[in-house]
Structure 1
């Protein structure tokens, strides 16, 4: 029985796994399998970028709104650092894409931070002012 990718994704995925286990490679839906594998990789990259975006938002708030610093921001910074480090440990090859991911996350964080704080986006540096090592360091908090 052949289950179609478009009509029953779960059934299709289970069928593809069974075919792989049985060594029936000529029966695999390779086009859709390749698409799904690539999508899984992109999902990991988007997840890392999302953690970094939130981390940048709170680092920017920490720097540009010192009077509003509090436990919530501190804990969010710590949490996002841990999640970023965990994502990179689980996906070490994402390190090769870090410059692009960092740049994309920082650009978006400027917009969301400006929206949340009311600070003009032009106040924030166009390029990330911190190194990746600083961003994930437990000791680093911008002044």
Structure 2
């Protein structure tokens, strides 16, 4: 087994540092290509997973805001409204940071919204105890609305 490949199994951080140094020096023949390719592929998967995950939570809260808020008692609505608003703020900030740090994800945003929406409906239905049929079949929010810090859907 190649020395760098062994290092990958024993000390990932040392492997990553040594791999980066070999790349900087142009010593490509010494690279552990199998693990390098695996890690690069996983990086993209991890970023896409985080994008879908954050969108799922954000969309579920937008849906609950729009479809459950009015059904809550006044006192409970005040509590939930603050909580939902805080979650919307947090998820939008995190999404903005993720898209800023990984601009390549911007081109995948519509696809990620499509993946996240069905999960968001399921999450919103379970958390709100509303029927899945309460919510639109496809995402009712535009990409711009989803990311807009000042957008809150009209309450139905």
TM over 0.5: yes
Aligned length: 143
> 50, 53, 57: which is aligned to 2:53?
50
**Which residue is 1:83 aligned to?**
94
Map 1:112-123 → 2, pairs under 5 A: 112-123=123-134
Does the aligned pair in 1 maintain the 2:59–2:120 contact within 8 Å? yes
Asked if 1:2 corresponds to 2:13, the answer is no
What is the correspondence of 1:28-43 to structure 2 with a 5 Å cutoff?
28-43=31-46
Query: The residue matched to 2:138 in structure 1 has which SS?
Result: coil
Give me the whole-angstrom Cα distance separating, in 1, the residues matched to 2:122 and 2:22.
Answer: 46
More relative contact order, 1 or 2 (CA 8 Å, 6+ apart): 2
- How far apart, in 2, do the equivalents of 1:137 and 1:28 lie? 44
Shift of 1:8: 4.1
Secondary structure in 1 aligned to 2:137? coil
1:15 is aligned to 18
Q: Which runs of 5+ in 2 are unaligned?
A: none
- Stretch moving more, 68-77 or 7-16: 7-16
Q: C-alpha separation between the residues in 1 aligned to 2:81 and 2:108?
A: 32
**Cα distance in 2, alignment partners of residues 86 and 24 from structure 1:** 34
TM-score, normalized by length of structure 1? 0.89
Are residue 141 (structure 1) and residue 152 (structure 2) matched? Answer: yes
The offset of 1:47, in angstroms, is 1.2
